[in-house]
Structure 1
Amino acid sequence: MSSSNDRVSVWSIAGPSILVFLLSTLAGVAIIKIVAGLGTSAVVATTAGQRVHFIQLALLMGMGAATTALISRAWGGNNLSLAVDTMKLSIKFGLGICLLVTALAMIGAGPIASFFQLTGESRELAISYIRWMFLFAPFQGLVMMMSTASRAAGDAKAPLYIGIVSNVISVIGAYMLAYGVAGLPAMGVQGAAIGWGVAYLISAIVYFSRWYLGHLKLPFKVDEGGEKAKTKQFINISMPATVEQLIMQGAMLVFIGFVAQYGAEAFAAYGVGINIMSVAAVIGLGFSIAASANVGMSLGAGKPEQALEASMEALKLAVTIMALVGLGFGVFAEDISEFMVDDSRVVEISTLFLRILAFLLPILGIDFVLSGAMRGAGDTRYPLIAGIMTSLGVRLPLAALCIWLDLPVWCIFSVFLFDQLMKCLLLTRRYRQKRWLTVFS
């Protein structure tokens, strides 16, 4: 390691990260498309399962914030032993959390389906999908922690290569097991979940093997006398980020409960729209990771002004690109909706939702990058505060008001705009004050 490692280009991390996240999101969209051939009940069940899955992702992302902040700073400060030990610590936490989530999902799949007000076939399919999906959760935890650690050290290529293979296997496996291709049993929604899970199982085996054999940027073994990761420090950074994600996802679940009151068509349209939006959101996520890693590396090297420059570069790129993608979403909203589903009413509602999301995307880019920069500096508390204030103080009250006043469905979808705008105003104020640069010191 040398001083040249104190910062890497935004694109070197953001580019591969965006690509692999895009592939992962497209795989999720493809699975929705696959199960659409099984009927609306299958789409509703899969949407519910994927929404619950976001809770697990929220937990892993919270720990990922600590992983990125600590490893990037150690890497920027030329402390390899600390970086590697932090990676091992994050893997232990990730696996432990995922095992707990798996156990809870096995037990609580029924109540979860009931929460979404699902009945009959939709409810039974959702229960099955949730249980099979979370059976493979620990493997996803291992993959996510290792890929996060690699990106924090400036290596986004290994996660990209493994991610490409994983997502291809995911889609092919979901299709083959859902419809019984090549002599395999036709398992419907269950098969789609199993195909997705097997892909993560294979990825986990490949990742760990490469790490153990020394083919990753962060080695498996380092000098035993080197600095060790501090568990308390890891928890102190990860807890606010984890709580933030849980509150955000919990608020989203309640929000979906409001959407479900508009009927199955609105619920299915939400699933279509949110999956399509995720395709664009990965752009912001990629730049968020790049901002986090570069801020951490720069601060680890004792260069706060460089940290600001890197975060601003990521912000400009993210907002510009997401605005252009949003424009495309708005223009082709109906075509996208018709491609995803055959139900005319679902297409109509999805088109409205996508056009609203078109305005949301550049605002979401600001949220991603500024939050990412702060987390990279170890300031995970303020994004938590901003998230609580807007999710609980803006999104849910406005959604409840839409139900109470019996407003059209497009009104409840528009709540996202007000929610994100308020959050971005809070984050921008914090960013300009620059106090977040010294929180970790």
Structure 2
Amino acid sequence: MSDDARVDMTTGAITPKLFALAWPLVLGNLVQTLYNLADMFWVGRVNAEAVAAVSLMFPTSWMFVSVAMGITAASVALVSQYVGADEQRQADHAVGQTVLLTVVMGLALASIGFAIRYPLVSLIGAQGQVFIYSMDYLEPILAAIPFTFLFFAFRAVLRAAGDVRTAMWLVVISAGVNVVLDPFLILGWTLVEGAPLIGTISFPAMGVRGAGVATLISRVLAALIGLGVLLNGGWGVRLRIPDLRPDREVLTELVRIGAPGSADGLARSFAAVFFAALVARFGPIATAAYGIGVRLMSVSWTVSGAVGQATATGVGQNLGADTPDRAEEVARKATAATMLFLFAVGALAFVFPARAIGIFVDEQAVIEEGVVLLRIMSPFWAFTGGLMVVQGGFRGAGQTTQAMALSLASRWLFRIPVAWLLAYALAWGVAGLWWAIVFSGVVTFVIGAAWFNRGNWREGVVDTEPDVAAGDD
């Protein structure tokens, strides 16, 4: 990648550089979010039970997929280091070991998922038709796990090599295929009717299973394209067949580096599944409203997550340049801008909640419950977004333990117990669950901001002075 494409956050006006750094990340995250919105939109044309099933199974499937997050983080660390050190052969070898580990883990988790799918869905609380729909959706999603892992891994190693555009195109292709296939496979649309020679081409109405099959097909296609790109080797790194032979040292390093990220991802996914189970106890209407609300909130998370990544880069660069005051200014401006944007988005959702929910479903009971959810939660979206940016600041400073602690506290300390207390012990009903999400977001943001303001992160992790005690290490 040329120097012109690099954003240097250590000089110049901070705000325009933050924007230049963040908008490609925002665009990528928005395209990825299109998966979820498309599934929910077309599944909403089936019935409320179908929406409830997808709402329950989405966090359940991510409980498995979250393991890939640690692998991709580790692959980025190794591949980018080797590329930066101009050790291309070692970078390619790390790519091969990443693919090997990805395939093994993907196949193992898919097998485990199939083995426990019935008790797992029952444990979450799906019953009756929702249980049947949940199984219809989950089975193809489990089959897609190895390809999803490869999809994530290919994007990660391409980004590590500096090729963001090809990684982006993998997302666009996968999301585009998923969006196009959804109505044909879910509702049984006709592609061609009465054409000469070929006649009529129509698809069976698969319902909820069609949403899962569409995702499976899109992920298989993206994985195959990514495999072709890496085998070609013209995009910065190459997958060489001999590098697929197990290398214990490299595999151990991938596992060691990736374990914390996978553990954090699993903990967050377990929390999402547990919370979905609490919602499921209030029936399919509440579950459907929750699923739609989560999708709407995911748009705001997409923006704040991308700005958090940009903040990590800005903070890291400035600490490396020994300008901690500027690093703090990057974090403050990014947090303020994100929260202002999300306050505006939340205001729109608060004013037009029925219209927002009605995009995905036309059942009045679901819309009414969704209105209650958005009226409670949308004014506070900015706090969750602000927290994500603060966590990005910690990560940029190398303080990943603090970022993980905030993530775990938000879900397992301030959300799950408070949700049970409000909804069940104090009998607030399903509204208590929505207030628990609000409470966890606000409290954790206040703690995170106060923690960040203490300034312990300002020392950074790069020693710019000669290491006189290196021999004593």
Question: Would you say same fold, with TM above 0.5?
Answer: yes
- 5+ residue gaps, structure 1, are none
User: Is 1:197 aligned to residue 216 of structure 2?
Assistant: yes
- Displacement of 1:80: 5.8
User: Is 1:405 aligned to residue 426 of structure 2?
Assistant: yes
- Is the contact between residue 312 and residue 393 of structure 2 (CA under 8 Å) also seen in structure 1? yes
Give the 3 Å change call, closer, same or farther, for CA 293–152 of structure 1 in structure 2: farther
SS in 1 for 2:442: helix
- Is the contact between residue 28 and residue 171 of structure 2 (CA under 8 Å) also seen in structure 1? yes
What amino acid does structure 2 have at the position aligned with 1:283? V
Summarize the alignment of residues 23-422 of structure 1 with structure 2, pairs less than 5 Å apart: 23-68=31-76, 86-152=94-160, 155-181=163-189, 182=191, 183-218=202-237, 234-293=254-313, 302-303=320-321, 305=323, 308=327, 311-312=331-332, 314-402=334-422, 403-422=424-443
Output one character per residue of 1:2-61: Cα deviation in whole Å (capped at 9) or x when no partner: 888584754455322322321232331221121222222221222222121221342223
Output the CA distance in 1 between the equivalents of 2:138 and 2:153.
22
**Structure 2 counterpart of 1:435:** 457
Output the CA distance in 1 between the equivalents of 2:249 and 2:334.
29
Give the 3 Å change call, closer, same or farther, for CA 345–363 of structure 1 in structure 2: same
Higher mean C-alpha displacement, 118-127 vs 87-96: 87-96
Q: Which has the higher helix share?
A: 1
Output one character per residue of 1:189-240: Cα deviation in whole Å (capped at 9) or x when no partner: 212211111111111122222233234344557xx9xxx9965554444322
Give the 3 Å change call, closer, same or farther, for CA 415–43 of structure 1 in structure 2: same
Output the CA distance in 2 between the equivalents of 1:14 and 1:330.
26
What amino acid does structure 2 have at the position aligned with 1:303? A
- Displacement of 1:342: 1.6
Higher Cα Rg, which structure: 2
- 5+ residue gaps, structure 2, are 10-16, 192-201, 464-473
Output the CA distance in 2 between the equivalents of 1:378 and 1:232.
22
- Displacement of 1:413: 0.4
Output the CA distance in 2 between the equivalents of 1:51 and 1:123.
15
Q: Considering only aligned residues, what root-mean-square deviation do their CA atoms show, in Å?
A: 3.2
Q: Equivalent pairs: percent with the same residue?
A: 23
Output the CA distance in 2 between the equivalents of 1:78 and 1:231.
21
- Displacement of 1:270: 0.5
Q: TM-score, normalised by structure 2?
A: 0.81
Give the 3 Å change call, closer, same or farther, for CA 96–132 of structure 1 in structure 2: same
Give the 3 Å change call, closer, same or farther, for CA 282–7 of structure 1 in structure 2: same
- Displacement of 1:73: 6.2
Output the CA distance in 1 between the equivalents of 2:7 and 2:148.
30
Give the 3 Å change call, closer, same or farther, for CA 229–348 of structure 1 in structure 2: farther
- Displacement of 1:399: 0.9
- Displacement of 1:422: 2.7
Give the 3 Å change call, closer, same or farther, for CA 288–136 of structure 1 in structure 2: same
SS in 2 for 1:187: coil
- Displacement of 1:77: 6.7
Output the CA distance in 1 between the equivalents of 2:62 and 2:321.
35
SS in 2 for 1:342: coil
SS in 1 for 2:362: coil
- Is the contact between residue 238 and residue 380 of structure 1 (CA under 8 Å) also seen in structure 2? no
Output the CA distance in 1 between the equivalents of 2:249 and 2:459.
21
Give the 3 Å change call, closer, same or farther, for CA 152–421 of structure 1 in structure 2: farther
- Displacement of 1:378: 4.5
Q: TM-score, normalised by structure 1?
A: 0.86
Output one character per residue of 1:229-275: Cα deviation in whole Å (capped at 9) or x when no partner: 96555444432222222222212222222222222211111011011
Output the CA distance in 1 between the equivalents of 2:83 and 2:393.
17
